[in-house]
Structure 1
Amino acid sequence: MPTPVPTLTSEQRAEALAKAVRSRKDRSEMLAALKAGRLSLLDVLERDDDIARQTRALRLLESLPGIGKVRARRHLTDLGIPETRRVQGLGKRQRERLIELFPPQN
Structure 2
Amino acid sequence: MHHEAVGRDLSRKVHAAEAAVDHALIEIAALTAALPEARMRAGVSGVTGQSAFDDLAASLSDMTRARARLGGAHRTLAALARRMGLGAVAAGPMDKPDDQPPLDGSGGVTANMVNEM
Per the normalisation by structure 1, the TM-score is 0.40
Bigger Cα Rg: 2
- Select the structure with the greater relative contact order (CA < 8 A; seq sep ≥ 6): 2
Per the normalisation by structure 2, the TM-score is 0.37
